[in-house]
Amino acid sequence: MGTSSVTGFSRRGLLAAFAATTVAAAPRYANAFSFLRGAGDVRRIRMYSGRTGENVDTIYWIEGQYIPEALNEINYFMRDWRQDEIKPIDPRTIDIATAAHRLLDIDEPFMLLSGYRTKATNALLRETTPGVARKSMHIDGKAADLRLRSRSVSQIYSAAMTCSAGGVGKYSHSNFVHMDCGPVRTWGG
């Protein structure tokens, strides 16, 4: 195991990430994708849901190609469990989460708090939870709210920000980090 630094990135994880080669992709996602290159051009996501008791551990990309069956598995896992509705999750969001996870150099899967949300679920959450956006990226299947037991919100937030590939929100009081594939921006405290 690598030596941990103050930010929670291991030396080995950062060296692997920065030794990665550049890939041909949309410029704003090039950083996130390059952090994934050290895995032999294989991308794997591991998550579990405390709400449904389900988990997903799948390789969703091999040799430059997304695997449709794996993406379907991820879409089902990240469904709106309140309404039991599925919407395709933008693979770029999965790439950002995977790159952040890789930078943290851990084996623990992410805990998914929220993936896709129907408009009805988002409206319900807006009534009961402060900070829920009216036009949330969750409604479009472009966001995930994630946490780890072994890393702080600040460490996860720093890893996601390092990817420079989408929105990253820090929700310290609720103990999670929001990641989405929208415009690059940050918020929270």
The answer to whether position 2 is within a domain reads no
The answer to whether position 6 is within a domain reads no
Residue 184 vs residue 126, higher pLDDT: 184
Q: Please provide the average confidence, as pLDDT, over all residues in the chain.
A: 83
The answer to whether position 5 is within a domain reads no
Domain count for the chain: 1
Q: Is the pLDDT of residue 28 over 60?
A: no
User: Which tens digits make up the pLDDT trace of 43-97?
Assistant: 999 999 989 999 999 999 998 899 999 999 999 999 999 999 999 999 999 999 9
- CATH of residue 129's domain is 3.30.1380.10
Q: Is the pLDDT of residue 32 over 80?
A: no
Q: Is the pLDDT of residue 2 over 90?
A: no
| 28 neighbors 165 (Cβ within 8 angstroms) | yes
User: Which tens digits make up the pLDDT trace of 155-173?
Assistant: 999 999 999 999 999 999 9
The answer to whether position 66 is within a domain reads yes
Q: Is the pLDDT of residue 114 over 80?
A: yes
- Mean per-residue pLDDT, 2-16: 40
The answer to whether position 103 is within a domain reads yes
Q: Is the pLDDT of residue 148 over 70?
A: yes
The answer to whether position 1 is within a domain reads no
Whole-number pLDDT of residue 33: 54
Q: Is the pLDDT of residue 18 over 60?
A: no
| 139 neighbors 53 (Cβ within 8 angstroms) | no
The answer to whether position 4 is within a domain reads no
Structural domain range at position 76: 11-188
The answer to whether position 34 is within a domain reads yes
**95-111 as b/e: b if 16+ CB within 10 A:** bbbbbbbbbbbbeebbb
Whole-number pLDDT of residue 1: 38
Q: pTM to 2 decimals?
A: 0.79
Lowest-confidence region among 16-20, 81-85, 123-127: 16-20
Q: Alpha-carbon distance 42 to 90, whole Å? A: 18
| 17 neighbors 103 (Cβ within 8 angstroms) | yes
Write the CB contacts of 68 (distance below 8 Å, at least 6 apart in sequence): none
